[in-house]
Amino acid sequence: MHGAPLYIAETSPSQIRGTLISLKELFIVLGILLGYLVGSLQINAVGGWRYMYGMSVPMAAIMAIGMLFLPCSPRWLLLRAVQGKAPMEEYKQMALDALRKLRGRPAGDWVSEKEVEDTLVSLKAAYSDQEPEGSIWEVFEGPSLKAFIIGGGLVLFQQITGQPSVLYYAASILQSAGYSAASDAARVSVVIGLFKLVMTGIAVVKVDSLGRCPLLIGGVGGIVFSLFLLAAYYKILSSFPLVAVGALLLYVGSYQISFGPISWLMVSEIFPLRTRGRGISLAVLLNFGSNALVTFAFSPLTEMLGPDNIFILFGAIALVSLIFVFLNVPETKGLSLEEIESKILKS
């Protein structure tokens, strides 16, 4: 969750950075779908859950082996050279070799040389008189603080708008719609997983053409509507269970084109280079901390408020998150990481 978006952001061309980072979310959703499929096939088998864990082992082994062949980030190599932490010519050549490997270009390719030179110029202008990596406290200063408010705000709202809880409540929603047997619910879970995959695929395809903000605004708007619709179902529409199923699907789809992929994309590209590692680490901590908070608080809050009022609460929080996106989240489509820092964070 920390290393993947950081690495992809630093090694991707700016024109397709959004697509590549969003693909991370797509493959996460694909893994969830495969888990649903194995679960639905083994739902009646004694100890069938073991197959879901077992199926993950070869995938993890393939990933571990593949990561051994990844080159270092060219930006990281150049930054060390710019700040005198490593020999300039040696690390410049290492950065060039890494970039050629990442782009699949042959030795002597002038496009790679120009990209390295352009990156070197921008890094010299921004970081020649600074340490290569800022302290954790620097994340709460100047441009890094602005980045943390944007990125941290997105991953916080990603969780406190009910993402863990709405999905945890999906089983009772499906049961109320007539899918009472475990096997029925498992099959519907596969349908939800497929829907999540399709909607994430839409975000992947459109994020670099439409931009980050339109997907966020449209998706979060859908989340607001779906949460209030779920509240209405529990208050006055309980005789129409398909309304709840439709609201659940709308929530899932809206989340997968907005908070799901876009939050991690923004976190990976919004921090200045020298505090990017620290900033993403803190954002991951904030994300999983808020996830745990919502998860543990959901049951007592539901008992206290009832499901209708809990969804009104989540809907109100989602409405606040929509206002937050309008007021604070900038458009970063097509900008290099250095341009994001100079044009957005220092403005």
Write down the pLDDT at residue 150: 94
Write down the pLDDT at residue 11: 87
What value, to the nearest 5°, has the Cα angle with vertex 242 and ends 239 and 248? 120
Q: Evaluate whether 234 touches 223 at the Cβ level (below 8 Å).
A: no
Write down the pLDDT at residue 36: 77
Write down the pLDDT at residue 171: 64
Q: What is the pTM of this model?
A: 0.81
Angstrom distance (rounded) from CA 24 to CA 29: 9
Write down the pLDDT at residue 181: 59
Residue 131 CB partners (closer than 8 Å, separation 6+): 83, 274
Residue 272 structure tokens? 């200045």
Distance of CA 159 to the CA centre of its chain: 12
Q: Evaluate whether 157 touches 321 at the Cβ level (below 8 Å).
A: yes
Q: What are phi and psi of 118, to 5 degrees?
A: -65, -40
Domain boundaries, the chain: 135-345
Write down the pLDDT at residue 268: 87
pLDDT tens digits, 299-345:
788 888 887 898 899 999 999 999 999 999 999 888 888 788 877 76
Q: If DSSP codes are grouped into helix, strand and coil, which group holds residue 13?
A: coil
Q: Is the dihedral of CA 19, 25, 29, 34 positive or negative?
A: positive
Q: Evaluate whether 241 touches 281 at the Cβ level (below 8 Å).
A: no
CATH fourth-level superfamily of 135-345: MFS general substrate transporter like domains (1.20.1250.20)
Angstrom distance (rounded) from CA 76 to CA 73: 5
State the first-to-last Cα distance of the chain, in angstroms, to the nearest integer. 29
In this prediction, the residues of the chain whose per-residue pLDDT falls under 70 are: 126-134, 167-186, 345-347
Angstrom distance (rounded) from CA 254 to CA 220: 7
What is the 8-class DSSP label of residue 343?
Answer: I
Write down the pLDDT at residue 226: 93
What is the 8-class DSSP label of residue 177?
Answer: T
Q: Which of 230, 235, 255, 231 is nearest to 245 (CA)?
A: 230
Which string of DSSP letters, residue by residue, matches 106-154?
Answer: -TT-HHHHHHHHHHHHHHHHHHTTS-SS--GGGGGSHHHHHHHHHHHHH
For residues 273, 275, 277, 280, the Cα torsion angle rounded to the nearest 10 degrees is -110
